[in-house]
Structure 1
């Protein structure tokens, strides 16, 4: 009985790629969308895992689900359940090891063009 419960629990955890197998291109393609950059920035700033619904996004729930899926497939986040909440963890240490400075540079750059870009 306990083995069945553990199997069911594991079935709720989506697959996550090994960061060593993802390319910089995959990561950058995931980060090209401003909604996904916002999610990553929110996770970076929080220093803790966040439920999907706690990040204020300007998109529908189904579109938000798509964005979280893209980030997970690119290896940027890890998702798991706590009760009925799907939690999101930024894979900060793994990404920093694979692509040093990338996340720090992403969150340091404000959205939109800078005054020097005009």
Structure 2
């Protein structure tokens, strides 16, 4: 018998709520993840340099996944993450682009 691939639960697009997405985007670490994925496409969790512990990183990715902001799939032992851009753009037009611009503007002010 062939073992089944590991899967993670994701909300159906009809279950994605604005308040959950905004909550997920309200943390600076999660914003950094979203900005990275917006600019780089699908990536492994370890490719994003976050200044938090591995367990905290796992928590932040789970919050983003459960809110419907990202999709995560296993590829071998790596967990790959990508933005659910198509779903979010259909539900909340312009939200991801606005968040990315605001994140970049804030980063520019900090330098």
* TM score, norm. by length of structure 1: 0.85
Aligned mates of 2:50, 2:106 — CA distance in 1:
15
The equivalent position to 1:17 in structure 2, one of 2, 11, 15, is: 11
1:32 aligns with 2:26: yes
Please provide the CA RMSD for this pair. 1.7
* TM score, norm. by length of structure 2: 0.90
* Counterparts in 2 of 1:26 and 1:113: CA distance versus 1, 3 Å: farther
Runs of at least 5 residues in structure 1 that lack an aligned partner in the other structure: none
Aligned mates of 1:111, 1:33 — CA distance in 2:
14
Please say which of residues 103-112 and 66-75 is displaced more in the overlay: 103-112
Corresponding residue SS for 1:100: coil
Shift of residue 114 of structure 1? 5.4
The structure that has the greater radius of gyration is 1
Corresponding residue SS for 2:52: coil
1:55 aligns with 2:22: no
Runs of at least 5 residues in structure 2 that lack an aligned partner in the other structure: none
Aligned residues: 108
- Consecutive aligned runs of 4 or more in structure 1 exceeding 6 Å deviation: none
